[in-house]
Amino acid sequence: AVEQSTEGDSLVHRVRLEPGALHAELQVRAATRPMPAIVGWHPWFPRVLRGGDGLPVGGPVEVDLPAGGMLLRGSDGIPTGEVVRPIPPEPWDDCFVDLARSPVVRWPGALEVTVASEAAFWVVFTEREEGVCVEPQTGPPNGLNAGEHAVVEPGRPLVATMSIAWSAPGS
């Protein structure tokens, strides 16, 4: 576990690795007064998997995102709060909501990675050639300014979890 604190407030990040999965937990704790908080992770995945010989393994990455809606971005790139349905096609640098199940990052014929979290907001970034991101968050981008965040109080921490599980297709 990694712990950081300021004036008694603290953030604890616990990570546990086991065969086939990584589990992470974030806790934000307020010492003496309430404070707003949003936490999340920024997993980055390569578009092309490569073997020890440097050659591609499996097909190019696919992001299977079963979201019910996407937050509309304003001209400044910040979500407006309006939910877009249906979701436009990639590329994305957007925040998604109402997931029916956990997102899957897949390299056909080689590997599947499931990113699971109870987080209500998922930022997915597919605009760069080298990789993609699938990011569970407890609030939307700019949520601290827009009022879409948790309020952490003494004795009532914000706790978020995420698991990244991997397997060969069909296993």
pLDDT digits (tens, 9 = 90+) for 12-27: 999 999 999 999 999 9
For the CA atoms of the chain, what is the radius of gyration?
18
25-76 pLDDT, tens digit each = 999 999 999 999 999 999 999 999 999 999 999 999 999 999 999 999 999 9
96-154 pLDDT, tens digit each = 999 999 999 999 999 999 999 999 999 999 999 999 999 999 999 999 999 899 999 99
Amino acid at 119: A
Give the CA count within 13 Å in the CB-facing half-sphere of 103: 30
How far is residue 113's CA from residue 28's CA, in Å, rounded to a whole number?
A: 27
Closest CA to 171 of 114, 115, 117, 132: 114
How far is residue 122's CA from residue 151's CA, in Å, rounded to a whole number?
A: 20
Displacement of CA 17 from its chain's centroid (Å): 18
pLDDT at 169 (0 to 100): 77
